[in-house]
Amino acid sequence: MDDAVFSRMLAVSFLQTFPTGVVLHEQDSLADFLFVLLSGSAELTACHGNSEGTVTIYGPGRPFSLAAVISDKPTLACARTIGPSLALMVPASALRSAISECCRFSQAMLVEVSRQNLDLVREINNQKLRNSAERLANWILSSAERVGAERIQLPFRKRTLASLLGMTPENLSRTIASLEPHGVSFHGAAIAIRDAEALRRLARPTALIDA
């Protein structure tokens, strides 16, 4: 982006460390900042009546609440850290000014909003077209591929994983047991893939759902 525009935006932005469990913004509130995690992770949750569910989880490098910041509309989910995190906080007004001033930056923001929209459609397809065992199997496969290992550590509580995959905690426990014959072992928060091909046959990953 244009150096002068970047400098003006960065001059009013700042880095902030957060412990686990800090609410970065509430659901149905105007987004004062765009958050970009440099380390750690954040969970986006939505509430309706007595129900609460995990919408998605963001790790380092991805901006969140971008659509709400750009459109100056209330956020549709609550953002909460699920581990010690370091975030760049860009004031919403500064981001919108940079978008209006710099064509290259506005194009980059358009690409990121499009990417997030595609991720959302993939997740809808994941929830609508797969059963619970297939959703868990694909989550394990994609998590293992990201770290390049067949042993991974659950990065958050099982209750959070259940909500992320559209299950109850009880259903997740049954689903975990059902993956045992397909080459997966759970030991607390540790997950071991004993037979990746067997797990892949169950999961049937596809580029239309799995990024």
Which tokens in the block code for residue 17? 């460390």
Residues 33-73 pLDDT 10s:
999 999 999 999 999 999 999 999 999 998 988 999 999 99
Residue 32 located in a structural domain? yes
Listed residue (28, 69, 63, 62) closest to 45, CA to CA: 28
Within this chain, do residues 25 and 99 fall inside the same structural domain, yes or no?
Answer: yes
Residue 125 located in a structural domain? no
Within this chain, do residues 109 and 80 fall inside the same structural domain, yes or no?
Answer: yes
Within this chain, do residues 91 and 16 fall inside the same structural domain, yes or no?
Answer: yes
CATH of the domain at 72: 2.60.120.10
Range of the domain at 85: 3-120
Residues 68-96 pLDDT 10s:
999 999 999 999 999 999 999 999 999 99
Mean pLDDT lowest among 22-31, 119-128, 145-154, 191-200: 145-154
**Could you give phi then psi for residue 26, rounded to 5 degrees?**
-85, 160
Number of independent structural domains in the chain: 2
Residue 90 located in a structural domain? yes
User: Has residue 150 got a pLDDT over 90?
Assistant: no
Residue 67 located in a structural domain? yes
Within this chain, do residues 143 and 165 fall inside the same structural domain, yes or no?
Answer: yes
Which residue, 96, 120, 144, sits at the end of a domain? 120
Within this chain, do residues 86 and 156 fall inside the same structural domain, yes or no?
Answer: no
Which residue, 94, 120, 146, sits at the end of a domain? 120
**Structural contact between residues 80 and 160, judged by C-beta atoms closer than 8 angstroms:** no
DSSP class per residue in 52-72: EEEEEEE-TT-EESHHHHHHT
